[in-house]
Structure 1
């Protein structure tokens, strides 16, 4: 478990308690040593979290200083739930697991009425075992984008012809039915979009590429008129 996740769970475990929670109980729940709990609580106190207590006695959040729950409208909460379901269905295994973990953290600090409501939205995005997202290319392409890893593709066009390409992967875009990989194609010497479901083979070359202004992400977005801003 990441330390950031552990700190979050310690705060959540102390929320709303009227009696001190022993450090040993926290250690057993989180699967860590008592020393780790003592250190984590001390760090939280130094950072301003109003935790009172001491080793051997237990810990509580100071009365009147409980951390307020996240507040969402019903529509906002439904958007989060539905978005998580779509990411789990279409975003590949890596993002799917992260989306599930994020939603669990959100639900952990919601008031009970909103938590119950989040479980009853009727918009679904069922996962399909045979869908190409479940077979791994989206995860591999995502990792290559982050690492700026030069890739070799055997790519099948719309008529089934295969060509070998060496590409610098820049971004992934989902169009509501298909993914595309935005990349600089060294063979064509220009930006190209590749559909992951048409990649016959995908190989990491072991080489990386530099973030070049003329053929980097910003230049790609301008060439395709995609708005890459995050508002």
Structure 2
């Protein structure tokens, strides 16, 4: 375990306790000696961590202390890299570029040992052999969701039946080989799911729909165990 990782783990352990924890217990949790623990606590205090206590009495992290925003565990780094690689492979061109760019920004400010973990992680995202040409549509759909704009949709369901819908898009689901637009459908007067590969054409309207997307998303989450229709 790197020292950076150990310091992060120490902060996380202290954060999980409301009352002082003995140095012996902290050292045991981290599998280090008491001398190393005391040095680590002193280092964190020098860096601004509000840790109160002393040997023999125990230590407690005072409320209000925030971790530096770019301190990650090795598993968190693996999750970031794997997620970014997945998005880069399955997202549209703009989203893929954003994922790679964000990872580069994180790498630029990480401590050297964590940067090495980011550069050398061996978790890979496999290719999507069924990837469709989505670079044009998905950025426009994401923008409509962000701006809470209505969309007029020409859609063809799984049986080949065509329909026109006025929808209020509020989420976009990325599955292994399918992208699903989640929206309130004015025709059906309920939340519906529209596969992006079945969208024939669409037009984004300039006016906003009358409800907040956060409210729609909350309602969808409450019924997602029931609503299984994918049109």
- What TM bracket, shorter-length normalisation? 0.5 to 0.7
Match of 2:218 in 1: 218
> What secondary structure does 1:84 align onto?
helix
- TM-score under structure 1 length normalisation: 0.59
After superposition, residues 1-231 of structure 1 pair within 5 angstroms as 70-125=70-125, 131-132=131-132, 134-211=134-211, 216-225=216-225
d(CA) in 1 for partners of 2:80 and 2:107?
11
Change (3 A) 1:108 1:134: same
The gaps in structure 1 that reach 5 residues or longer are 1-67, 227-231
Instruction: Give, in angstroms, the shift of residue 162 of structure 1.
Output: 1.5
Report the Cα distance in structure 2 between the residues aligned to 1:155 and 1:133, rounded to whole angstroms.
17
Q: Deviations over 1:66-125 (max 9, x none)?
A: xx8944332221111111111222232333222222211111122333323322323333
How far apart are the structure 2 equivalents of 1:212 and 1:84?
28
Q: Runs of 5+ in structure 2 lacking a partner?
A: 1-67, 227-231
When residues 69 and 143 of structure 1 are mapped into structure 2, their CA distance, relative to the original with a 3 A threshold, is: closer
Q: Offset of 1:186 from its aligned partner?
A: 0.9
Q: Helix, strand or coil: the match of 1:135?
A: coil
Deviation per CA, 1:23-59, whole angstroms, max 9, x where unpaired?
xxxxxxxxxxxxxxxxxxxxxxxxxxxxxxxxxxxxx
- For residues 76 and 204 of structure 1, the distance between their equivalents in structure 2, rounded to whole angstroms, comes to 37
Which whole-Å CA distance do the structure 2 matches of 1:71 and 1:212 have between them? Answer: 34
Scaled by the length of structure 2, the TM-score of the pair is: 0.59
CA RMSD of aligned residues (A): 2.8
Distance 1:133 1:85 in 2: 18
The size of the alignment, in residue pairs, is 158
Q: Distance in 2 between matches of 1:99 and 1:196?
A: 21
Q: How far apart in 2 are the matches of 1:129 and 1:177?
A: 8
Q: Secondary structure at the match of 1:142?
A: helix
Give me the whole-angstrom Cα distance separating, in 2, the residues matched to 1:77 and 1:133: 30
Distance across 2 between alignment mates of 1:114 and 1:133: 36
